[in-house]
Amino acid sequence: MGKPVYLDHHATTPVDPRVLQAMLPYFSEKFGNPASRNHAFGWEAEQAVEHARSRIAALIGASPREMIFTSGATESVNLALKGVAEAYQGRGDHIVTVVTEHRAVLDTCRRLEARGLRVTYLPVDREGLVNPDEVRRAITERTILVSVMFANNEIGVIQPIREISRVVRERGVLFHSDATQAVGKIPVHVEEDGIDLLSFSAHKLYGPKGVGALYVRSRNPRVELVPQIDGGGHERGLRSGTLNVPAIVGFGEACAICQREMEGEGQRLAALRDRLMNRLLAELDEVVIHGSLKHRLPNNLNLSFLGVEATTLMMNVKELAVSSGSACSSATPEPSHVLRALGLPADLARGAIRIGLGRFNTEEEIEYAAGRLIEAVRKLREQSPIYQTMKEKLRSASDAGRQNC
């Protein structure tokens, strides 16, 4: 291949050329501020924003007035969790979430704990799934919010959102979902899924960076939030600040494209993912896939190669853009908190790489990536005495298990 192959679409996606074309006029001739209500430049910008708002809402089955624009999913999560905590402090002081959440949720919960709230962190099973019965048992009379990620950013596991939301609704508690990795890849419908607050970003679905949205249910029940940014009263008073019109227009176009093409694209990506996975499994031994394959995003693969460190492997396949975990925590040497939550030993967790396929990946790229990974793993294993030792231990354990049977 003449250029690097990008396989890190969970970290970010390239802006679709169609999205860029929709955005370009709003950097120059259509430069108005949508808050300027007294002239045509402002009206034109406001019309573009509201059109985008309708397109984004349509993708998730919401009403346009329920969409609040933010700078991205992290801000949306902060507004949802902190906004609910302040608005409902008279009713309770307890939040339920999951150990495998993105740091945007976990770190926000830690901040709320420092303010005196109580947070329950639910475990997951070895496939990365939350048991709805665990959610039911965790909810108390003081619980005001349950927050469960729709699809995991590392292992791609899709949670049983509808089953969880039914449990939460039965107890009269609000339900938030960080759907950053799910929206645009799989069907997400806030009404059918029973979601009260939903966070997501444009740059994960081939839109621009720096813009996101928070869905806030307007009825049955109407969700109250305390704003976290003051000044100007934009976005129904929930998020002040001049709107990023070009990015919002791009966000709307990206969502419209996803709504039209998501089903076919998902099938194509799942086929490419399976092609890559099956070749790796066929040509290498001791390959471990992390997380449920049945309940999984179509473009995700997270796996370890026994005896091979992820950082060393990535240094040997520099022409492949893959990661060793979340983009937000890739600088830390600690094993992924998501993989540790699955019960993986530290050495296997440190060996995991995350592959995220995308809209513009080709069969040729997938075949090339498979070949390079196989070549690199074989080379590193030949150089490593650790691999042979680990393999012997596994063989001994397997033999002992057969004898006990």
As given in the structure block, the two tokens for residue 391 are 């393999």
Cα separation of 20 and 11, whole Å?
Answer: 19
Cα separation of 394 and 382, whole Å?
Answer: 18
Question: Using an 8 Å Cβ cutoff, are 291 and 352 in contact?
Answer: no
Question: Is 328 a catalytic site residue?
Answer: yes
DSSP letter, residue 369: H
As given in the structure block, the two tokens for residue 300 are 């995700």
Integer-rounded Cα Rg, in Å, for the chain is 23
Which residues, 6+ apart, have CB-to-CB distance to 397 below 8 Å?
Answer: none
As given in the structure block, the two tokens for residue 13 are 């996606």
Question: Using an 8 Å Cβ cutoff, are 176 and 198 in contact?
Answer: yes
Secondary structure of the chain: what % helix, strand, coil (to 5)? Answer: 45, 15, 40
Cα separation of 41 and 59, whole Å?
Answer: 28
Catalytic residue (choose from 109, 258, 328, 405): 328
Cα separation of 42 and 34, whole Å?
Answer: 5
**Nearest C-alpha neighbor of 169 from the set 128, 198, 132:** 132
Cα separation of 210 and 234, whole Å?
Answer: 17
Question: Using an 8 Å Cβ cutoff, are 168 and 143 in contact?
Answer: no
Question: For residue 94, what are the β-bridge partners?
Answer: 118, 143
CA distances from 190 to 73, 84, 247, 392 (A): 16, 18, 23, 50
Catalytic residues: 328
